Structure 1
Amino acid sequence: MGDLSAARRVAVVAPHPDDEVLGCGGTMARLGSEGAEVHVVIVTRGQEPDFPTAHMDRVMAEADRAHRSLGVAATHHLDLPAAALDTLPAARINARLAECLAEIAPDTLFVPFIGDIHLDHQITFTSSLVWARPRSPRAPRRVFAYETLSETNWYAPGLTPTFAPDYFVDIAAQLEAKLAAFAMFETQARNFPDERSLQTIRTLANLRGSMVFCAAAEAFMTIRQVWRAE
């Protein structure tokens, strides 16, 4: 089962709203258009006093709108505290994420990269893999880590885990949809040369595409792929 064309139920786990669009918005759109049921799990939500409620309501509404535009079947909000996952017991995070993912029962799972600079990303990666342990036939057959602009490349490559992609998805036909979806995050989008600008998102897609001789791509690291006997 090494081909994403076999994916039928997909879960994309995002530490914060917009990570999923940055990392695999084009892949989500392509999978949805090809018949897969795509779910997004947003792990955290900003809490008062650091994140005003009205602002977070707006961000979550932007996420829901962006997901609809990409053909996402459902968005799941866990509402754990943003920028504070490291203050929670790991068992609590694992249990909340496990409950949601077990309900979705994905055959394909996308998670943030362990080497991202944000602790929320690192913890989300670990908790996702705790759930995804291959301990039953219900475990996802495919697990991939995605890259997130302004997180994946801001740590210390060479000293910390380095994002070295080995799986690429051609999103030339979905690139404009990805850019339009990210533009819906009006609270998050920035002007070039900020990394969270439409120009930079396009440039990265073109770069990843050029690495495998296509016009635009998203890149992933393979965590696990299993081809089971039917």
Structure 2
Amino acid sequence: MFDGTDTVLVIGAHPDDEVLGAGGAMAKHAAAGDEVHVLIVTEGTTQQYGDDEDLIEEKQTDARTCAETLGVSAIHFGGLPDMRLDEVAHVDVNAAIEDACAEIGPDIVYTHSRREVNRDHVEIHDSTLVATRPGTDVSTVLAYETPSSTDFAPGTDGFDPDLFVDIEEHLETKIEAFGSYEIEKRPFPHPRSPEALEAIARSRGAASGVPAAEAFDVLRAYR
């Protein structure tokens, strides 16, 4: 990882999930010379803000700005309905991710944890495991935590980080990139605030002996 030889795909259910969960790692991959792609599976708008085509376009513009800040090579949009993936046929959610994997050919895939209060995130997790099942060319599948979803979920099932990535050199870039999503920002101490994102990174860093880190659950690794 982070050696400039990998193609990376980061999958998020909604615009901003990708940077919240793996923004530092994305910037680190890009800085190392890896080819980084993002897939946003839903349009991220209809359930929360109504069927507003202008807002959908605004969120896609924000996602592109975020991706550019992180050094992402390309961003892809699945266009599935926001907050209703549990009503979409499982094979259709699978297909959105499978099609992206077929087009991009990733070596490393980042996706949602299964320990999530947001049901869309759980659906994406399950479909990612289908799309990256044994026999594909994906060598590594990692789950990230999503502030205000993973941390709000009860119980202990799902997110159990066993990989910590030093993002000290990229933390400022992650926070700047998240700022592209002005509509999603919240005041501190909400987890989706710049101050909270830094606090989470510092806490994960303290747990792994570096100044700032992101934590991941290794779902699959083939060598």
Pick the TM interval, shorter chain: over 0.9
| Equivalence for 1:21 | 19
In structure 2, distance between residues paired with 1:4 and 1:33: 8
Q: After superposing the two structures, state which structure 1 stretch, 68-77 or 83-92, moved more.
A: 83-92
Task: Output one character per residue of 1:93-119: Cα deviation in whole Å (capped at 9) or x when no partner.
Answer: 111221111111100000100111111
Which residue of structure 1 lines up, in the alignment, with residue 194 of structure 2?
198
- Letter of the structure 2 residue corresponding to residue 105 of structure 1: G
Q: Equivalent residue for 2:52?
A: 52
Partner Cα separation in structure 2 for residue 86 and residue 39 of structure 1: 25
Q: Residue 37 of structure 2 contacts residue 73 of structure 2 at CA under 8 Å; is this kept in 1?
A: yes
Runs (5+) with no aligned partner, structure 2: none
Deviation at 1:18, TM superposition (A): 0.3
> In structure 2, what is the equivalent of residue 86 of structure 1?
86
Match of 1:164 among 140, 146, 160: 160
Contact map agreement 1:7 1:108 (CA 8 A) in 2:
no
**3-state DSSP of counterpart to 2:183:** coil
Cα deviation digits, residues 194-215 of structure 1 (max 9, x gap): 1110000000000000111111
Q: In terms of mean alpha carbon deviation, does 197-206 or 6-15 score higher?
A: 6-15
Which residue in the other structure is 1:71 paired with? Answer: 71
**Contact persistence 1:66–1:181 (CA under 8 A):** yes
What TM-score does the superposition give when structure 2 sets the normalisation length? 0.95
List per-residue Cα deviations over 1:78-134 (Å, max 9, x = no partner).
Answer: 100000111111111111221111111100000100111111000001111101001
Q: CA deviation at 1:56?
A: 2.2
| In 2: Cα distance, 1:225 partner to 1:165 partner | 14
Matched, 1:100 2:96: no
Q: 1:72 to 1:152 in 2, by over 3 A?
A: same
- Structure 2 partner of 1:32: 30
User: Amino acid of the residue matched to residue 141 of structure 1?
Assistant: S
SS of 2:153's equivalent in the other structure is: coil
Aligned length: 221
**1:141 equivalenced with 2:139 (yes/no):** yes
* Percent pairwise identity: 36
Distance 2:51 2:159 in 1: 30
Uncovered stretches (5+) of structure 1, i.e. residues with no partner = none
> Could you tell me which amino acid in structure 2 is paired with residue 20 of structure 1?
E
- Among 179, 194, 197, the alignment partner of 1:183 is 179
Tell me how far apart the structure 1 counterparts of residues 169 and 41 of structure 2 sit (CA, whole Å).
29
The CA deviation string for residues 124-147 of structure 1, in whole angstroms up to 9 with x for no partner, is 0111110100124x2x11110000
Residue 41 of structure 1: which of 34, 39, 42 is its match? Answer: 39
Q: CA deviation at 1:47?
A: 3.1
CA distance in 2, matches of 1:114, 1:221: 10
Match of 1:224 in 2: 220
Deviation at 1:225? 1.2
Superposed CA deviations along residues 140-173 of structure 1, whole A, max 9, x for unmatched, are: 1111000000010111123xx1422100100000
Determine if contact 1:7/1:107 at 8 Å carries over to the other structure. Answer: no
TM-score (norm 1): 0.92
- Aligned equivalent of 2:10: 12
Q: Distance in 1 between matches of 2:172 and 2:38?
A: 20
The 2-side partners of 1:162 and 1:78 are apart by 25
2:208 aligned partner, one-letter code: V
- How far apart, in 2, do the equivalents of 1:165 and 1:59 lie? 30
